[in-house]
Structure 1
Amino acid sequence: MSPARTRRWAWAATARPVLAAAVAVAGLVACQLQAGSADALLIIRHGGTYTGTYRSVNSAVPCVLIATTEPVVLRDCVLYGAGDLIRATQGGAQLTVLNCRGYGLPQSQDQTRHGHFLEVNSARSVRIEHNYFERTTGISIYQWSGDGTPAQTLTVRYNSARNIDGRFRDGGSTMANFLGLNGLPGLANIEVAWNQVINEPDQSLVEDNINFFNSGGTRTSPARLHHNYIQGAYPYPATSATYSGSGITLDGDGRAAASTTAYVEGYDNQVVSTCAALNIAAGHHNHFHHNRLITAGLLPDGTRLVANYAAAGLWNAYRQPTTVFNHNLFSSNVIGFVHWGGSSPWPNRQDLSTGACTPCTGTVHLPNPITLQTEQAEWARWQQKLRREGLRVGPILAKPRPAAIAQTR
């Protein structure tokens, strides 16, 4: 169980325009950088499908800015940025991000975060599939203006991310998530599935890899949070004794049942080598079941991980009344979580948070020892799962187009 944290996210959407040449190619709008351009910003003012390579070394200048409420598809883009790679914060966005690659560059200013792969405010629809990004502060989605129908909801699937990094270049840090939701309560048809997130010790600083804050589904359409592989959630440096991050946390300070985190169903996720795995700290009608939570209590070089606490925690962090915090449950999860000095269910284990997981039923406690090899076996299990389902995470390379055949008369 990680300590309760109060999230306060306020995002500005300011940027100076930088022109890029645009040409129509095979029905796409393909934008190329001008030679010698140090900073590049594509401002999308009209709907359509866009592709291209963009690079911004200025932390204040995003690579791509969405400035329209018309449907936009970003496909096969390659993005390099010291700031946000894609920003859609003007409200009403209808955005699909497909098959793109994003790379965080060193910040251009002190006390400044790495950019998000994608930052969105008050969107109508967002679909993020088959992308890869590294050394960013992940995907941040704040509030919602869609109606929750299948065409106006949030879908995050088949993505691969590495080293979510909230560190500043000159010391200090900010919270960073692979996926952070804030202020999306009662949104039907949410799906977050088949994503792969790997964070390396001392190369990353993630808070909760996935955090639902005052966000969730509905009674008839719970948010589906399933078949994600999450590896790594460490302090910086990784040998530090304190840390509040996790694999997945359901959180929120909403004071009413309709404004807190609710109706989230998390299942068939694998959470490996984290200081905490799954937490329910707020809300109602949230259920984690049939997940695998494995931590050996060791860093890859064999050094003990001392900041970790417990695999599963369920507690009323915001001390809300039973009208707001109720009907939360863990059931049938497979857990092997080493916490040095722990005692649940055996010495040096903390599969369930002491005193904070009474409604945790049907837990399958893996037998000792839980080792680095046990963690590695989870990676093999994940790969087998992808093969069995015929799925691939990250970008799918397009097949080369056949060469044009010259026609003669």
Structure 2
Amino acid sequence: MGAAKSLVGWLWLAGLDWGGLKTCVRHAAAPGDAVLVITKGGTYAGTYRSRASGVACVRVATAEPVVLDGCVLTGPGPLIVAGEGADLTVRNCRGQGLPPTVDKEPTGRFVDAYRPRRLVVEHNEFAQTTGIGVNRWAGPGAPGQTLTMRYNRARNIDGRWRNATGGTHSSFLLLNTVQHLAGVEIAYNEVLNAPDKSLVEDNINLFNSSGTAGSPLRVHDNFVRGAYPFPATADHFTGTGLTTDGDAQTLTDAAGFVEADHNQFVATGNAAMNIAAGHDIYYHDNRAVTSGQLPDGRRFAAGFCGLGVFNFYKQPPTVFFNNRVVNNTVGFVRWGGHAPFADRQDEAPDACAPCAGTQHLPAPVTAATEQAEWARWQAKLAQNRVAIGPVTAPKPTK
């Protein structure tokens, strides 16, 4: 089936996991299930380590403004959990996921937030986690009470289970039913996933999530490399670099008012960028490069296309409309593909009607072409004087 779509969003809503559809509690943790439980606002630093999958490193259990600055977080469970109404800033923190202590469970998220009213995640570095998840929003608030994810460095988003026979669909960033929120910015994040050391689904998944007509949800100037099945040589995969997603059948609840531009998606299985649901979605001036080869020279067989626009959930025309994909640069190897050259599929066959002005990279697209995207990213950072990851040293443990 075309550019296959994940069901990660509704599985999360239902409390289910793709691998075997098992029960999976994400946001029902009891007070005290963390190394540090924050009940008062303020700025917190230090080193926190959890030793069990069910125990977070830090749990924010207050609506007062909380800043985590320069923390070092290590554990097999969620590193940071934020409860309803949280006003949380996470900056200059380092997170390391550890192997889960429970079978059929992945490592936890770096940040796992449920109905926050303000969330800023900037200048952090984290590895071997299941990324950042934001499940719903507390509702419209004062100016500045929005979602900001910038200047983070992520390595190996990893949904693999401990017993290595399955996995959970994971994302660098999953927005689940974060709706009609103005001022959202997801920018200058660097995500590198290595084959056979990670298991990511959509690196960025916008599930039933939306900005506003006057302030679209912005996803810009991010660099994502790697979206692989496990094992990486498998020929089936449903992940992407970026996907608008969601099963909503009404305009109010659907993904919408999204603008994604000047991103780079490299070595992504299935697809680089999909519009699988929603309205008023605008992808432009992005770069999608996949060589069809793993770093060690093995063939990467799980690629499908660079760009795809398809109404996966069969939303009515009053919900799935006004989507544009314009002026993107694509070189996407799909073995057996045919557009615009042999073994290429820069646009999904019969599923890219709104795509216009695509700039097709010349053949062949190789590992060197992918590496050139990394050089382009480094030049962009230097030109714009942007620093990725923590910009201060971690503070000593108290």
User: Scaled by the length of structure 1, what TM-score is found?
Assistant: 0.90
- Report deviation, 1:261: 0.5
Q: Tell me the SS of whatever aligns to 2:109.
A: coil
Aligned residue type for 1:105: L
* Correspondence 1:42-121 to 2 at 5 A: 42-89=36-83, 91-121=84-114
- 2: CA distance, partners of 1:398 / 1:240: 40
C-alpha distance in 2, partners of 1:150/1:366? 42
User: 1:244-323, aligned counterparts within 5 Å?
Assistant: 244-275=238-269, 276-323=271-318
Corresponding residue of 1:2? 3
Shift of 1:216: 1.5
Cα distance, 1:397 vs. partner? Answer: 2.2
Deviation at 1:150, TM superposition (A): 3.9
**Displacement after TM superposition at 1:13 (Å):** 3.0
Deviation track 1:211-238 (CA, whole Å, cap 9, x = no partner) reads 0000020101001100000000000000
Partner of 1:371: 366
Q: Which has the larger displacement, 240-249 or 1-10?
A: 1-10
Partner residue, 1:33? none
Residues 122-161 of structure 1: pairs in structure 2 closer than 5 A: 122-147=115-140, 149-161=142-154
Whole-Å separation in 2 of the counterparts to 1:319 and 1:305? 30
**SS of the residue 1:386 aligns to:** helix
Displacement of 1:351:
0.2
Identity %: 51
Contact map agreement 1:52 1:76 (CA 8 A) in 2: yes
Partner of 2:29: 14
Residue 65 of structure 1 aligns to which amino acid in structure 2?
Answer: R
Deviations 1:132-184 (A, max 9, x none): 00000000000001416542110000000000000001021111000000011
> In 2, are the aligned partners of 1:251 and 1:280 still within 8 Å (CA)?
yes
Q: Quote the offset at 1:399 in angstroms.
A: 10
CA contact 2:226–2:267 (8 Å) conserved in 1: yes
Q: CA deviation at 1:329?
A: 1.1
Deviation at 1:16, TM superposition (A): 6.3
Amino acid of the residue matched to residue 13 of structure 1?
Answer: A
For structure 2, the residue ranges without an aligned partner over 5 or more in a row are 16-25
Which amino acid counterpart does residue 237 of structure 1 have in structure 2?
P
**Contact 1:2–1:246 at 8 Å: present in 2 too?**
no
Comparing 221-230 and 9-18, the one that deviates more = 9-18
1-side partners of 2:250 and 2:50: how far apart?
42
Change (3 A) 1:99 1:213: same
Q: Residues of 1 paired with 2:150 and 2:72: CA distance? A: 19
Match of 1:406 in 2: none
Q: Which residue of 1 aligns with 2:347?
A: 352
Task: List gaps (5 residues or longer) in structure 1.
Answer: 19-39, 401-409
Q: Matched residues in 1 for 2:35 and 2:30: separation?
A: 9
- Is the contact between residue 99 and residue 395 of structure 1 (CA under 8 Å) also seen in structure 2? yes
Amino acid at match of 1:228: N
- Spell out, residue by residue over 1:174-212, the C-alpha distance to the aligned partner (whole angstroms, 9 max, x if none): 110000000112111100000000000000000000000
Q: How big is each residue's C-alpha offset from its partner over 1:78-99, in whole Å with a ceiling of 9 and x where there is no partner? A: 000110000013x100000000
The ranges of structure 1 where at least 4 consecutive aligned residues each deviate by more than 6 angstroms after the TM superposition are none
Q: Which amino acid aligns with 2:148?
A: T
Give the aligned length.
Answer: 379
For the 8 Å contact 2:70–2:394, the answer to whether it is kept is no
Could you tell me whether the CA contact under 8 Å between 1:184 and 1:216 is conserved in 2?
yes
Please, what TM-score do these two structures have when normalized by structure 2? 0.93
Q: Partner residue of 1:209?
A: 203
**Secondary structure in structure 2 of the residue aligned to 1:304:** coil
Q: Secondary structure at the match of 1:285?
A: strand
Q: Distance in 1 between matches of 2:147 and 2:89?
A: 10
Inter-partner Cα distance in structure 1 for 2:226 and 2:81: 26
Amino acid at match of 2:28: A
1: distance between equivalents of 2:384 and 2:53? 40
Check whether the contact 2:5–2:276 (CA below 8 A) recurs between aligned residues. yes
CA distance in 2, matches of 1:238, 1:154: 33
Letter of the aligned partner of 1:110 in structure 2?
D
What are the Cα deviations for residues 307-330 of structure 1, in whole angstroms up to 9, with x where unaligned?
110010000001111100000110
SS in 2 for 1:376: helix
Distance (Å, rounded) in 2 between the aligned partners of 1:150 and 1:160: 27
Question: 1:311 is paired with a residue of what secondary structure?
Answer: strand
- TM-fit CA distance, 1:17: 2.7
CA distance, structure 1, for counterparts of residue 267 and residue 105 of structure 2: 28
Q: 2:323 aligns with which of 310, 320, 328?
A: 328
Query: What residue identity is the alignment partner of 1:3?
Result: A
| Range moving further from structure 2, 191-200 or 250-259 | 250-259
1:83 aligned counterpart, secondary structure: coil
- Measure, in 1, the Cα distance between the counterparts of 2:119 and 2:179: 16
Aligned residues of 2:70 and 2:92 also touching (Cα < 8 A): yes
